[in-house]
C-alpha cells in the first residue's frame, strides 16, 4: 500500500510547522490526516493491533499487523515532511505516529489560562 499522490500533494502544499504557526498547522494537518484515513493513528483511536502473545499468529493477524505498521510508517513520514528542520527535534525518540503527535502536543499545545489566551491572538 503506497501513499496516494493526492495525499502527498495535500501535505506538501501546507506550510511546515515552525515556531509560530502551531494552531493553523495543527488544523491543516488534522484535516489532511482525517481525509486520508490516518487521523486514528495519531489520536490513538487506531492503536497497534492487540494480538495474542502466546502461540502462532494467524495469517489474518499477521496481515493486520503488517498493514497497521505500514500505515503508521506512512503517517510518520507525512508528519516529518510537514515539520521544519528546526522543529524536528520534537519528533525525536518517537517510534510511532501517535508518539510523534503526542510529543508535538506536549510542546506546542497552549497550557493554562495564559497559554490559551496567547493562542487566541
Phi, psi of 38 (to 5 degrees): -115, -5
Give the burial class of 27: count Cβ atoms within 10 A of its Cβ; 0-12 exposed, 13-18 middle, 19 or more buried: exposed
Average pLDDT over the chain, rounded to an integer: 88
**What value, to the nearest 5°, has the Cα angle with vertex 86 and ends 68 and 108?**
65
Residue 1: which pLDDT band, with cuts at 50, 70 and 90? low
Helices (H), the chain: 5-12, 22-35, 39-43, 59-81, 97-108, 112-120
Annotated domain spans of the chain? 5-120
pLDDT of residue 8: 77
Is residue 22 predicted with pLDDT exceeding 80?
A: yes
pLDDT of residue 58: 83
pLDDT tens per residue, range 102-114: 999 999 998 876 5
Is residue 78 predicted with pLDDT exceeding 90?
A: yes
Residue 116: which pLDDT band, with cuts at 50, 70 and 90? low
pLDDT of residue 71: 95
**Which residues are registered as beta bridge partners of 17?**
83
Contacts of 26 (CB under 8 A, 6+ apart): 108
Mean pLDDT value across residues 31-54 = 88
pLDDT of residue 50: 77
pLDDT tens per residue, range 46-71: 988 876 666 777 888 889 889 999 99
Three cell numbers at 30? 488534522
Neighbours of 5 (CB within 10 A): 8
Amino acid at each position: 500500500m503506497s501513499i496516494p499522490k493526492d495525499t502527498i500533494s495535500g501535505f506538501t502544499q501546507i506550510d511546515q510547522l515552525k515556531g509560530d504557526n502551531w494552531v493553523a498547522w495543527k488544523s491543516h494537518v488534522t484535516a489532511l490526516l482525517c481525509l486520508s484515513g490516518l487521523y486514528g493513528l495519531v489520536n490513538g483511536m487506531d492503536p497497534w493491533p492487540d494480538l495474542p502473545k502466546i502461540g502462532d499468529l494467524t495469517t489474518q493477524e499477521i496481515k493486520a499487523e503488517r498493514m497497521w505498521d505500514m500505515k503508521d510508517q506512512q503517517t510518520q513520514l507525512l508528519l516529518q515532511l510537514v515539520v521544519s528542520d528546526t522543529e524536528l527535534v520534537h519528533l525525536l525518540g518517537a517510534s510511532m505516529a501517535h508518539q510523534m503527535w503526542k510529543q508535538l502536543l506536549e510542546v506546542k499545545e497552549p497550557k493554562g489560562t495564559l497559554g490559551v489566551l496567547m493562542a487566541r491572538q
